[in-house]
Structure 1
Amino acid sequence: MKKILLSALIPALLGVSACSDDTPKPSSSSDQQATATQSNFDDVYASITAKAIAPPLKKLASDEFEGRLPTTKGEEKTLAYLTDWFEKAGFKPGNQGSYLQQVELMEITADPDMAMTIGENTFRYKEDMVASSKREQKQVNLDKSDLVFVGYGVNAPEYDWNDYEGLDVKGKTVVILVNDPGFENAESGKFQGKTMTYYGRWSYKYEEASRQGAAGAIIVHETAPASYPWSVVANSWSGPQYGLVSQDKGASRVAVEGWLTLDAAQKVFADAGLDFAEQKAKAQQGPYHQAMDLQASVTVKNRFKKSTSHNVIATLPGSEKSDEHVIFTAHWDHLGKDDSLQGDQIYNGAHDNATGTAASLVMANALKDLSPRPKRSMTFLIVTAEEQGLLGSKYYADHPVIPMDKTVANINMDAMNVLGKTKDVAVVGKGKSELETYLEKAAERQGRTLTGEDRPEAGYYYRSDHFSFAKQGVPALYAEGGSEPADEATAKYRKRMNVIVTGCYHQVCDEFRDDWDLSGIAQDAQMLMEVGVDVANAEKWPTWSEQSEFQRQ
């Protein structure tokens, strides 16, 4: 994608193991930024520990917070906890005397008593399919809507790719593959190979189908290219769904947005006289669409209401250039609770993202004691509704409290490392900006090296709140503990715990564990704080790399 054209195209312990050491090592890069000259920086740095992170993490992930779903009692308790912490840490209210920024949301809940009929097959809600609507209507229908397979559903001029070229889909339902054409065709040179572009994200696919005038859009789920199992789709796309309030009440969106399991999709293609694998192979080779001679019907009955959630914003004013800000982001929200479940009903969201939120609080506690203060202001923006499509950060980016031309950089923390210390740092979207120069220096203090992310095909750069800043041209950094454990004991722990953490993503088992080794979170939080302080004290603002699509205008 070309420079800022992207905006037009888209209009990972209470008791720490003996081998863990949170004490900083002397920096070998004292000739770079000003951190080493801070009189008490080492003491402030060392105050960020696993022991300090555990209490707020455990608190935020407790049943008391009811899974931190926006606009619920869980939100009220979360906001009270966060604002009280920032106030005690000496951070100023970041929004004209308030710690809160209102975010107007439209909550739409689809009645789960639905089924989708395609040809002669009837598919069951959450077992075979999910469907929802962004339209503010009590009932939305697809009634015998013609199906058209549109490959990856991509219209990308800069890649000379348009699956919709010459195709009129008005009133029709498009069937779309997940990810983008490069994922399973990495050697072809198409798109960015296995590294997902924004065109591979589900959000883009619904947006493009809407721009094309389709009545419905159904994405075929496959675990590898989606990077998550069907259970994530079923849990995340059911229950209350949130969007930002829109002037047209969702009329510009496709009427029905849905997913099909792979098994269900294969049945559909077979009924259409088509082989799914063959059609997918054709779609990988170039722009592709194919009429299916089948019709889809589904009725989505909605309950909807306008509601208000909140971002939390707190600032430590800079000592010299207080109008310029380095913004740290994390999201406080998760999935709430599901009363229909037997047994545990609460999606506590300990890893995702009580970790990043707790780290933010401990970092704020540390920064308040830094003397002298950084030259530029340090601001924490803890946003709402990330799980619903980065809505809190998107709202902030559209309604910034701090002007974007006064926002020097963004540093994001999401689902931080509960697998113990690492020798490497995984940079999500490696190579995008000069912030990695600061990160390399901070990692060197810890004896660590920078690597790329393990799974660039998952498109993580487009899946957390920094992306909202990147789209506005603000250099945005998302980095976390890598894959190389610090020592043998950590390697053994990591092998066992990684299975648990991965399997609990967006599940009720994402709960705080007393046997978590939180030294990895402390390690990363120390590092990211140093990056932030260095950027705040630097003479020049960081810039994007030449190959980045996110240049400031």
Structure 2
Amino acid sequence: MRTIFLPLLLASAAATAQTAQVPAVSVDTLKTVTKTLSSDEYEGRAPTTPGETKTVAYIVERMKAAGLKPGNKGGWFQDVPMVETTAGNVSPVRFTGGKTPIELAYRTDMVLGTYRVVPKIEVTNSDMVFVGYGINAPERGWNDYAGIDVKGKTVVILVNDPDWRETGATGPFGGRAMTYYGRWTYKFEEAARQGAAAAIIVHDTEPAAYGWGVVQSSWTGPQLQQDTPGGHMDQSQVVGWIQNPAAQALFASAGQDLAKLSAAAAVKGFKAVPLGLKASVSFTNTIRRQASKNVVGILPGTSHADEYVLYSAHWDHLGRCDAVKGDDICNGAVDNASGVAGLIALAESAVKAGATPRSQVFLAVTAEESGLIGSKFYAENPIYPLAQTVGGVNMDGLNVVGKAKDFVLVGAGKSELEDLVKPLVAAQGRVIGIEPSPEKGSYYRSDHFSMARLGVPMLYGESGEDLVVGGSAAGHAASEDYVVNRYHKPQDEYDAAWNWDGALSDLAIYGGLGHLLATTDRWPNWYPTAEFRAIRDKSRAGK
């Protein structure tokens, strides 16, 4: 194991700068853990499969070797109740009432599923309504459902926020940077609150932030969700996505122009448009219940052991997926075997540095790819009280393309953790960069969001695209290549030629921030304008 000591600039409670010696992470650990977890032997690490059994056993083995203690009352695991539904006998999706009947193929034209835990789903002759961006935001004076009753109907929705095309921060939803209203999860939640029988999102690569292949691989095959009382019967019967060309043809059959309606939907005051079409589809569900596992290790604190600093990464990926050139294992090397490797490497570093006043928790969560299920379950059933959790860092894909000149704060402008991390970035001779694709809404797409939405300040920061070698052009090309050719595909495999220098730099920042939080008495909060500030204030007041 290669160990280096890096000087990290730390701020005390009085914001006085001081220097501490913290062991650097091991590049050998990063390589070994990533290569192991993303090997075919682990079958893509799908929850509730034999691949999970191997994965969580290996993570425990590495946490033990690092020197952590079991993090859940003497045990390493937190059971997460899961229910798996697999659609079968999917009928073609039929649309009638237009100029010509339209029938769309499952998987290629549309993907459909359900959150409801029932053996059969059937929607017959459901009236269709275009509801624009499907947003109901009273505080912004915006309601795409105003004046229309969609109970029992099928709503068609655009992805992202109405102002996602804006280049700056102007617009009713803050411009280019996505809000939670733009996330597909919100779209389906709101449609269910409105009583829609079915909710279909029109896929568009740029505002969705990924191509149709990602949707197809993620939304077909076994689908996991948290198993809760009631079987999710408060959700719409059908949720899914439609390819943009198929949606254009569908709207044309209704005598409408999708592009014109989309432009109208971006303007405040838009009114939902009945399409005069009826939708029908049916499918069966194979239901399987089984618990998955979060893995929890802890380095107990000394004088303030009941205060906690959290590091997290998700261990799961997609398992067996749609084959590409005969390969049907989505190995998830970058996403997120590399993040778990970072978690283990930081644990090793923290143990070498020695116990700190506050406890440090290392959490590897399940089912991120199924909707942040493992982290959501932890946040709602915390082993360590959220009011006593100071803050933390989440890792979802490390930089394996080389050192960057910049460090990007994803979803910038949210919490005081950003102020604490800036000196650490400057100490490396780097600058805070601008998030290159804020329209992707990345802050709402990984496990830190589960903690954040319940008040815990969580940093999501990573290397930017301005690489030391090749500059922004090389960095952007590498990002695009990953999204187009590897993300959520079998091609996300370990490569011995990866350059880990950027990951080491980022992990030094994560470790430095964690060490600062663990050794001072600071309680960073959300900025007053952040959507999570009120719940944190309430949580801390009642601790």
**Same fold, TM-score > 0.5, yes or no:** yes
The 1:27/1:529 distance shift into structure 2, 3 A limit, reads closer
Equivalence for 2:308: 325
Retained in 1: the 8 A contact 2:93–2:280? yes
**Structure 2 residue 234 is the aligned partner of structure 1 residue 257:** no
How far, CA to CA, are the matches of 1:112 and 1:497 in structure 2? Answer: 40
**Structure 2 residue 123 is the aligned partner of structure 1 residue 142:** yes
**Structure 2 residue 348 is the aligned partner of structure 1 residue 390:** no
SS at match of 1:88: helix
| Counterpart code for 2:105 | R
Which segments of structure 1 move beyond 6 Å, counting only runs of 4 or more? 28-35, 490-493
Deviates more, 1:107-116 or 1:275-284: 107-116
Retained in 1: the 8 A contact 2:152–2:196? yes
Q: Deviations over 1:53-98 (max 9, x none)?
A: 1111111111111000000011000010001111122211111111
- Provide structure 2 residue ranges, at least 5 long, that are not aligned to the other structure: 539-543
Q: Deviations over 1:265-300 (max 9, x none)?
A: 001110111111111111001233000000011112
Q: CA deviation at 1:36?
A: 4.8
Retained in 2: the 8 A contact 1:219–1:259? yes
| Counterpart code for 1:313 | V
The 1:190/1:80 distance shift into structure 2, 3 A limit, reads same
Equivalence for 1:313: 296
How far, CA to CA, are the matches of 1:253 and 1:433 in structure 2? Answer: 32
**Structure 2 residue 37 is the aligned partner of structure 1 residue 56:** no
How far, CA to CA, are the matches of 2:389 and 2:497 in structure 1? Answer: 39
Equivalence for 1:178: 159
SS at match of 1:367: helix
Aligned alpha-carbon RMSD (Å): 2.1
How far, CA to CA, are the matches of 1:480 and 1:106 in structure 2? Answer: 33
How far, CA to CA, are the matches of 1:520 and 1:172 in structure 2? Answer: 49
**Structure 2 residue 221 is the aligned partner of structure 1 residue 244:** no
Q: Deviations over 1:429-470 (max 9, x none)?
A: 112111112211221221112123111110001000010111
How far, CA to CA, are the matches of 2:350 and 2:228 in structure 1? Answer: 38
SS at match of 2:418: helix
The 1:302/1:528 distance shift into structure 2, 3 A limit, reads same
Q: Deviations over 1:100-128 (max 9, x none)?
A: 00000111111264321112111111110
Equivalence for 1:235: 217
Q: Deviations over 1:283-342 (max 9, x none)?
A: 001233000000011112111111110001110011211111000110000000138666
**Structure 2 residue 353 is the aligned partner of structure 1 residue 370:** yes
SS at match of 2:528: coil
Retained in 2: the 8 A contact 1:481–1:524? yes
Equivalence for 2:82: 105
How far, CA to CA, are the matches of 2:381 and 2:17 in structure 1? Answer: 32
**Structure 2 residue 99 is the aligned partner of structure 1 residue 118:** no
Q: CA deviation at 1:27?
A: 5.1
**Structure 2 residue 426 is the aligned partner of structure 1 residue 444:** yes
| Structure 1 segment 30-179 matched on structure 2, within 5 A | 36-38=18-20, 41-42=21-22, 44-45=23-24, 48-111=25-88, 113-119=90-96, 120-179=101-160
How far, CA to CA, are the matches of 2:130 and 2:502 in structure 1? Answer: 45
Q: Deviations over 1:316-371 (max 9, x none)?
A: 01121111100011000000013866611100000100111001111111111113
Q: CA deviation at 1:500?
A: 3.8
Retained in 2: the 8 A contact 1:35–1:530? no
Retained in 2: the 8 A contact 1:435–1:477? yes
How far, CA to CA, are the matches of 2:322 and 2:408 in structure 1? Answer: 38
How far, CA to CA, are the matches of 2:68 and 2:28 in structure 1? Answer: 22
Identify the match of residue 470 of structure 1 among 430, 452, 455: 452
Retained in 2: the 8 A contact 1:53–1:522? no
Q: How many pairs are equivalent?
A: 527
Equivalence for 1:274: 256
Equivalence for 1:193: 175
**Structure 2 residue 507 is the aligned partner of structure 1 residue 525:** yes
How far, CA to CA, are the matches of 1:185 and 1:293 in structure 2? Answer: 32
Retained in 2: the 8 A contact 1:325–1:376? yes
Q: Give the alignment's TM-score, normalised by structure 2.
A: 0.93
- Provide structure 1 residue ranges, at least 5 long, that are not aligned to the other structure: 1-13, 15-20
| Structure 1 segment 413-424 matched on structure 2, within 5 A | 413-424=395-406
**Structure 2 residue 277 is the aligned partner of structure 1 residue 294:** yes
How far, CA to CA, are the matches of 1:35 and 1:507 in structure 2? Answer: 45
How far, CA to CA, are the matches of 2:283 and 2:228 in structure 1? Answer: 20
Equivalence for 1:336: 319
Retained in 1: the 8 A contact 2:42–2:51? yes
Q: 1 or 2 for the larger relative contact order (CA 8 Å, sep ≥6)?
A: 1
Q: CA deviation at 1:495?
A: 6.7
The 1:212/1:497 distance shift into structure 2, 3 A limit, reads closer
Retained in 1: the 8 A contact 2:125–2:278? yes
The 1:25/1:366 distance shift into structure 2, 3 A limit, reads closer
Equivalence for 1:358: 341
% same residue:
43
